[in-house]
Structure 1
């Protein structure tokens, strides 16, 4: 097994920039992204650098909450969240060595699953139990 150098803060910034460039280029995801950044892209990207640093490096820099993000995510469907994860994976594969890309994508997949639970899980609506 080869030893992989830890991902740097600069690589995380490049990864986030690449990922959000892909989101902005996607006709379905761009309107959601624009609503979330609401004219303050630099501040939002700085928060995303902190967030992904916290996720990938477990740095603890990010002090926000996924629950707070939920209110800005109107129009995001499970399929679009899956597309976001695929775009993140593309950026990982383009910018990182294979092992680091795989580990970073796996952490992103855990974030995506958490977001799915926050955005789409409705215990008050037992629609899955009643589905035929």
Structure 2
């Protein structure tokens, strides 16, 4: 089963494809400029246009039910060294700031919920696999904190 389809069943589209593209492009523009996240992403992403296209497919699958995305984002992220809770929290904060600018409350709510699920799932698995060099930290990550 693909990660994109392991979350709850296909949603009814809450947004247009153009809104998904804007979300992805605006969010990752902010990520690339961010002092904390920028170095991590810019080190690991070598072809931004291809990466953005893949992310549009991923978020389109989650927000519009298009099922265009196939792949295993979890395994790719698990291979990255030295991720920490601050990175996940910052990713969520920027994501929430981006969705708040889009003017689509239904999309904002669903996208934020999905982002929170993804961040929590990735962070929990990352800890279980021992990548951060410490024990399991059960503190849930949320958009609120």
Matches of 1:71 and 1:100, distance apart in 2 = 28
Q: Which runs of 4+ in 1 moved over 4 A?
A: none
1:10 is matched with 18
Q: Which runs of 5+ in 2 are unaligned?
A: 1-12, 137-145
How far did 1:58 drift?
2.6
Give per-residue Cα distances to partners, 1:67-122, cap 9 Å, x unaligned.
33225533321111111011111111101322321121111111111111222224
Q: Count matched residues.
A: 123
List per-residue Cα deviations over 1:39-88 (Å, max 9, x = no partner): x1111111111111112223211101123322553332111111101111
Task: State how 1:59-74 maps to structure 2 within 5 Å.
Answer: 59-71=66-78, 73-74=80-81
Q: TM-score, normalised by structure 1?
A: 0.81
Aligned equivalents of 1:44, 1:58: Cα separation in 2: 20
Compare the two structures and name the one with the higher helix fraction: 1
- The alignment partner of 1:62 has SS state of coil
In the alignment, the residues of structure 2 paired with residue 126 and residue 21 of structure 1 have an alpha-carbon distance, to the nearest angstrom, of 31
Q: CA 1:13–1:102 in 2, change beyond 3 Å: closer, same or farther?
A: same
Provide the aligned C-alpha RMSD in A: 2.3
Q: SS of the counterpart of 2:101?
A: helix
- For 2:49 and 2:79, the matched residues in 1 are separated by 17
Q: Which residue of 1 aligns with 2:4?
A: none
**Larger radius of gyration between Structure 1 and Structure 2:** 1
Paired residues of 1:32 and 1:73 also in contact (CA < 8 A): no
